[in-house]
Amino acid sequence: MVLDLTSLISGKVSTLDFEYELDTQSEDNPIIAPDDVSFAQSVKVRGTLTDTAGYITLEATAELDYTSRCARCLEDIFGKFVLQFNRTVAISGTLQDEDNDSFVIVKNGKLDIDRELVEDLLLEFPSRLLCKEECAGLCPKCGKNLNFGPCDCPKKKEIDPRLAIFAKLLEND
């Protein structure tokens, strides 16, 4: 979304609130989901631009609904990812290095935050999702979901065959 900041820059207002939905399938800023994750059609974005004596800050919150599978037990997960997006706003031509990621640049009184917002969403989105923090996962032998109780597999501790050579070393001592 392109925001018109001319009233904020000229000092007519000191705050500017905004709210919109960012399309996840947009050709300009597509949000490509990681493997096994599906994003909702839109991201809800709301925020405020505040001018404090010429120092403009952008504070926004983006909410993205997603569906995925638990990384341990493969159960379906439906969740909401919330991103807090905070940046300092600078007017084009006032910075020596405009490629600095901590600033968003206003060009001709207009501010487009979508590219930076999409980039932060993709960088901050968890790489591994769990149905719950204490998820027990699946039994490596029978595949039973251990969140619903123990499996019937024998409880004999097995040594990883890749480490069996070390067992022989211990026997010689």
For residue 50, the model assigns a pLDDT of 92
> Over the stretch 88-140, which tens digit does the pLDDT of each residue have?
888 776 665 556 666 788 888 888 888 888 889 989 999 889 999 999 999 98
Q: What are the CA-CA distances from residue 120 to residues 37, 60, 124, 132, 137 (Å)?
A: 17, 12, 6, 24, 30
For residue 148, the model assigns a pLDDT of 93
pTM (two decimals) = 0.75
The whole-angstrom separation of Cα 111 and Cα 5 is: 7
Show Cβ contacts of residue 41 under 8 Å, excluding neighbours closer than 6 positions: 23, 24, 25
For residue 173, the model assigns a pLDDT of 55
> Over the stretch 3-56, which tens digit does the pLDDT of each residue have?
888 888 888 888 999 999 988 887 776 788 777 888 888 899 999 999 888 788
Neighbours of 68 (CB within 10 A): 22
Closest CA to 47 of 34, 56, 36: 56
CA 128 to chain centre: 11
Dihedral over Cα of 43, 46, 49, 50: its sign: negative
For residue 137, the model assigns a pLDDT of 94
Q: What are the CA-CA distances from residue 35 to residues 32, 69, 126, 166 (Å)?
A: 9, 10, 12, 37
Tell me the backbone φ, ψ of residue 120, rounded to 5 degrees.
-65, -40
Phi-psi region of 4 (alpha: psi -120 to 50; beta: other; left: phi over 0): beta
Is it the case that residue 170 has pLDDT exceeding 90?
Answer: no
Strands of 37-147 (E only): list them: 38-39, 42-52, 55-69, 76-91, 103-106, 110-112
For residue 146, the model assigns a pLDDT of 93
For residue 100, the model assigns a pLDDT of 62
For residue 32, the model assigns a pLDDT of 80
